[in-house]
Amino acid sequence: MKKLTVCLTMLMLLAASAGFCQETPVQKLTSQFLKVIESKSEAVGRKFIEENYADIFLKKVPMSIHIKVLNDLQAEFYKYTIISKSFTDTRATLVINSLITSRKKQLTLETEPHNPQKIFIIDIKDING
């Protein structure tokens, strides 16, 4: 009986901890965005933009600009390391280092606060000295 109790307790702890490890919507979008950069594919990028950018973002900024920004990131950052990352409910901020050029950029994605959370701001800053 004691062995069964220990096993059940461990299962409950694992189940509880699994809930803490689930990605939030902004973390999931950030992971997907990074995979798009890694893909180096304009078609993959266009599909991601169409499915995950907020309507207001698509109306304010022409698709050609979104594609150009993504193409520039894909060219330089398809191989990268993440130096730092932080998340709130609606914002992801990462500092990434290009393994191609050694340049560093701060990438901030902001999402809408309501579901489905879609990206409505992307801010990219060069942080090299």
Residue 7 included in any domain: no
Residue 77 included in any domain: yes
At position 29, the amino acid (one-letter code) is L
Q: Domain residues for 50?
A: 25-126
Query: How many residues appear in the chain?
Result: 129
Residue 13 included in any domain: no
pTM of the model: 0.81
Is the torsion defined by CA of 49, 70, 35, 14 positive or negative? negative
For residues 75-96, average pLDDT: 96
Number of domains comprising the chain: 1
Report residue 14's pLDDT band, with 50, 70 and 90 as the boundaries: low
Residue 56 included in any domain: yes
74: nearest Cα among 47, 40, 103? 40
Residue 45 clears pLDDT 60, i.e. is over it: yes
Residue 67 included in any domain: yes
92: nearest Cα among 64, 63, 52, 65? 52
**Cα(11)–Cα(81) distance, rounded to whole angstroms?**
34
Residue 32 included in any domain: yes
Q: Which pLDDT score is estimated for 8?
A: 46
- CATH code of residue 116: 3.10.450
